[in-house]
Amino acid sequence: MNPRFAMAIHYYVFIVFFMHISVLHVLALNPMIGNVTVKCIESERQALLALKQGFHLNNNAWLSSWGHGDNQKECCNWEHIQCSNETGHVLKLDLHVSDHIVRAGSITTALAELHHLNYLDLSYISFNLTPSIPIFIASLTHLRYLNLSHSGFQGKVPHQFGNLLFLEYLDLGYNSLLAEIPPQISNLSNLVYLHLGSNSFHGNIPPQLGSLLPLKYLDLSENGFNGTIPENFGNLSNLEYLDLSSSYQISLSSDLQWLSHLSFMRHLSLPKVNLSTANNWQQLVSGLSHLQYLDFNGCDLSDSIPSSLSSAANFSTSLSFVDLSSNNLMNSSLIFPWLMNSTSSLAMLNLDHNYLRGTIPQAIGELSSLEYLNLASNQLEGQIPISLFHVCSLRELDLSGNRLSGQFHEFAKALSNCNHKQLQTLKMGWNEITGIGQLSNLRELRLGNNSLEGLISESHFSKLSMLLTLDLSHNSLVFNISNEWVPPFKLIKIKLASCILGPDFPKWLQSQHNMNWLDISGAEISSNVPNWFWEFLPTMVKLNLSHNHFKGKIENLPLIPQSALQIDLSSNSFEGPVPAFLSISAQVFLSNNMFSTANLFLCSNVSANTEYLDLSNNHIRGQLPDCWMNFQSLGFLDLSNNYFHGSLPRSMGSLRQIQSLHLGDNNFSGEIPLSFVNCTELRLFDAAKNNLTGPFPSWIGNNLSNLFILSLHSNQFHGSMPLNICNLDELHLLDLSLNSLSGNIPKCISNLSAMASQATSKVDIFYAYDAYYDDFDGITSFGVNADSASLIWKGKMSKYRSTLGLLRSIDLSSNIFNGEIPSEMMSLVGLVSLNISRNKLVGNIPQGIGQLKSLDFLDLSRNQLSGRIPSQLSQLDRLSVLDLSYNDLSGQIPLGTQLQTRDASAYIGNPKLCGAPLNKTCLIPTQNPVDGNDDHEEQFFTEGFYIALAIGFIMGFWGVSCSLILKKSWRYAYFKFFNDLYDKLYVFAAIKMAKLKRLRA
């Protein structure tokens, strides 16, 4: 080989080797360059594009880097994607970009092509076209991280998820998942984080969770679990976070013995769990040396703390949050020392709504980190420790609802020594309020619902420039403030209900441009409402001017784009037309005023958001306008006790959301429009005391299947009672009295199954309107109004509200019903009231009436009933009113205290009745046994019995007589027998008489 050629080859190899080493060195130092060289797997790229296509996004900017262009071929460079540096396979797919839910259509099965995926985050993406969790996700067996929270999934968790053996992080929270947690979850032996909270799981908590030994985080909150907390939770020795909280009382219970093994626990939240059997809960909690957060709110705890434990508890020095509110804690001398060992870090302590007695210890001032202290609604007494006001970190203090004493100016002085820049909320129930005005940093002053009394002047608020909330409601306070006063604060929330502000409208409110909540109800104000006041409505959340003496007309101001969510002007003396601008509100309370017309209000064309409207007890006249198509959201409407007349407008059938409709005590006429068949959500329908006519609407039973209360009494309905009314299996109250209905009472009335169940005290009938969010308090509140209905009860018209749900009542009185009382009606064992008086009913009182043991009121009077009174009637021990008068009943009134102690008027008009309490004595007194044997006796002495008795007598008499007449030898023998018998009796009597005479001689 040529030496020069060999040398050239040598140099060439050296240069290539050097360049190769240099490239590797550069790639090693710059991984970003390395990523560029990784080639995207084409099948995975197509899977990602198919995934994007299934999302149906309105905003493509979210995944704008995903595409088909030449510069988009490398899917490993796309946003939200991470690939392997070695193989190019997609390893991570993180589509969670914000905490705002993105609606994205569906998940395509193409996702299953990403076989090497170990990280998948689809949280906050609402897959509205994929209601259930796709099972194919379980085929991604390399997954270590899976987050499907806030995705709107429904249905069950696929049991195939048990195949994800490498999974360490699983978050399915904030969906609508239901059924039970699949037991296959025990296969996930590497799981460290598990979040299943805020779903609809029910049943028992699976004990398989106790086998997930690496678990550090477990959230099962806001579900519907019942039973006990599994004891094998004690096996989770690495557990640091456990949340079983719920916003309502749940059926979980525990004795907490498993807690002693969880030494690393930092966050323990078990509110509403029944811990009444956990007698040593304080000792178990004290052993958790790392505990920072403890929530045992509403757990039925008692304070059986040994004195040795309360003084020397081994509490975590890092404990910062303790909520033991709404329990049965009683002894403050045990509870407070037990908590005082956490002086270094305790920031929040809530003990409200317990039964704590005794005093607040001075040592509470040693809690130097305390920011929130709530001891409200207990039975604490004695002096409030001054040391408490030396805790300069306090932001909120609530001591209301106790028996504490002290002078406020002393506490104000203590607060001023520390300058209390942090204190923003102060809630106390003291009688001495002098000195409040010195707390210049105060933002919330809440002294409502106490027994404060005295005068309030400008000086009390002189330095409260930071005040945002003022609550002095439901006290006996009188405001002595001049009309020229300009407050130093700009309030957001004002609650002065039952304080005396009148008689003039408080002019100082004109400077409160930031208020969104005003309650000055029951404030003894008797003037007009100034026009400038209504300008505040666009920013209002709640406005309550009720139960005052406001008078005059409300000017019809221009319509505004939005208004208060709730306006309550009820129980005043407003007059004139209802102004149209009020129709913007969601809930409008205008009852008990003197408004005369409502057409402008009802036909304003801007009422689409009105949910609750009460115009009852006014002076509104005229025909009801046909404008109800504007009220698409209306759920409650009360027009009762006005002077409306004419036909009901057909457009009322467009109230598809209506649940409670009150039209009673007006002069409506004509038939109920057929369009009402669209009101399928109706639960209460009251159109009583009108002039409605026509046959009883047969469509009610077919279309209004949710009816709870149906009251159509005092109208002019006629015809028979349709059979399909028996379809109303939710019906609790049926009142069709004072009409002209005829025919038989249908036997299918036994299908009213709600009346066949016993009433309980937990039944409530109310309309709950939409919630509102209070930005300042950070809470969500719901508006609730208890529904009401009127019925004739014990002879007079009564209105029921809070106890309405307890009634099971049928009133068919004052009609023309005929035929017999159907025996099937006796199966409605939940009936509390039954009135079928003043009809033309015939036949006997059904024997099964003794089954109606809940009856309090029974009226069968003024019919044509006959036969005996069933003895079972005496077994109805709850019966307070009974009326059987003016029928054709017969026989003795059955013996029993329930029937004999009645007034005789309950039986008058039945001439064939006898026995107490009537003055008429039965000729042959027979005691009717209580057990019902008299029914069998009545059945025995039938017409056939008497016919057979007559035939037997005739045949026996004439059979013997004919034999003696026709047979001579029988006749001689018969008379000879009686003649010999006579002789023997005569001789026997004569001998006896002779012996008697000798003895006397």
- DSSP result, 942-953: -HHHHHHHHHHH
474: which DSSP letter? S
**Identity of the amino acid at 689:** K
Cis ω for the linkage preceding 917 (within 30 of 0): yes
> For residue 443, which amino acid is it?
R
**Dihedral sign, Cα of residue 805, residue 808, residue 813, residue 819:** positive
Query: Is pLDDT at 121 greater than 80 in this prediction?
Result: yes
Range of weakest confidence among 27-31, 527-531, 533-537? 27-31
Q: pLDDT at position 972, please?
A: 64
Q: Which two three-digit tokens encode residue 780?
A: 């969500």
The span from the CA of 288 to the CA of 258, in Å, is 12
Digit-coded pLDDT (tens) for 488-499? 999 999 999 999
Greater confidence (156 vs 963) lies with 156
In whole angstroms, give the CA distance from residue 471 to residue 774. 15
Beta strands in 396-449 (DSSP E): 396-398, 403-405, 425-427, 444-446
**Measured distance CA(440)–CA(463) in Å, rounded:** 5
Q: Which of 413-422, 509-518, 820-829, 929-938 has the lowest mean pLDDT?
A: 929-938
pLDDT of residue 929 exceeding 50: no
Distance CA(367)–CA(865), nearest Å, equals 79
Average pLDDT (569-584) is 91
Buried b / exposed e along 860-897 (16+ C-beta atoms within 10 A)? bbbbebebbbbbbbbbbeebebbbbbbbebebbbbbbe
Per-residue pLDDT tens digits for 466-490:
888 888 888 888 999 998 999 999 9
- How many whole angstroms separate alpha carbon 722 and alpha carbon 746? 8
Q: Which band of pLDDT confidence, cut at 50, 70 and 90, is reported for residue 34?
A: very low
| Band (686; pLDDT cuts 50, 70, 90) | very high
Confidence tier at 931 by pLDDT (50, 70, 90): very low
For residue 594, the one-letter residue type is M
Any idea what DSSP says for residue 740?
A: E
| 943 CB-contact burial (10 Å; exposed 0-12 / middle 13-18 / buried 19+) | exposed
Average pLDDT over residues 621-641: 92
Confidence of residue 777 (pLDDT cuts 50, 70, 90): very low
Task: Examine the pLDDT at 289 and tell me if it is beyond 50.
Answer: yes
For residue 342, the model assigns a pLDDT of 55
| Alpha carbon distance 428, 375 (integer Å) | 10
Q: How confident is the model at residue 934 (pLDDT cuts 50, 70, 90)?
A: very low
So what's the pLDDT on residue 271?
Answer: 93
Q: Is pLDDT of 223 > 80?
A: yes
**Range in 451-455, 612-616, 752-756 with the lowest mean pLDDT:** 451-455
Dihedral over Cα of 818, 820, 822, 826: its sign: positive
Q: Give a three-class secondary structure readout of 500-531.
A: ECCCCCCHHHHHCCCCCEEECCCCCCCCCCCH
> For residue 438, is pLDDT > 60?
no
Least confident of 459-463, 701-705, 731-735, 943-947: 943-947
| Between 859 and 537, residue with greater pLDDT | 859
Distance (Å, whole) CA 964 – CA 855: 66
Helices first, then strands: H and E counts in the chain = 13, 62
DSSP state letters, 867-882: EEPPGGGGG-TT--EE
d(CA 838, CA 829) in angstroms, rounded, equals 23
CB 918 within 8 A of CB 885: no
Lowest-confidence range among 74-83, 87-96, 189-198, 778-787? 778-787
pLDDT at 367: 84
Cα separation of the two ends of the chain: 190
Predicted pLDDT at 759: 59
Cα separation, 579 vs 630, whole angstroms: 16
Nearest to 333 by CA among 313, 360, 370: 360
The confidence score (pLDDT) of residue 427 equals 73
Higher-pLDDT residue of 247, 226? 226
Q: Which element (helix H / strand E) includes 599?
A: helix 599-602
pLDDT at 82 over 90: yes
CB contact at 8 A, 366 and 390? no
Comparing 778 with 664, the larger pLDDT belongs to 664
Per-residue model confidence (pLDDT) at position 404: 75
CB neighbours of residue 921 within 10 Å: 10
Predicted local confidence at residue 930, as pLDDT: 42
Tell me the percentage of the chain whose pLDDT exceeds 70.
77
Please name every residue paired with 858 in a beta bridge, in sequence order, or none if there are none: 834, 882
Of 229, 224, 223, 179, residue with least CA distance to 209? 229
Does 15 or 913 have the greater pLDDT score?
913
Per-residue pLDDT, 1001: 58
Interval 806-858: pLDDT, tens: 678 999 999 999 999 999 999 999 999 999 999 999 999 999 999 999 999 99
- Round to whole Å and give the CA distance between 746 and 238: 67
- DSSP 8-state secondary structure symbol assigned to residue 331: B
Q: What pLDDT does 362 receive?
A: 85
Helix (H) or strand (E) holding 790: strand 789-793
Q: What contacts 24+ positions apart, CB below 8 Å, involve 910-915?
A: 910/884, 910/885, 910/886, 912/888, 913/869, 913/889
Structure tokens at 742: 């005829």
| Average pLDDT score over residue span 159-186 | 94
* pLDDT at residue 12 is higher than 70: no
CB 808 within 8 A of CB 733: yes
How many angstroms separate the CA atoms of 920 and 913, rounded? 8
Given a cut of 50, whether residue 932 has pLDDT beyond it is: no
How confident is the prediction for the chain on average, in pLDDT?
Answer: 82
Distance CA 997, CA 822 (A): 75
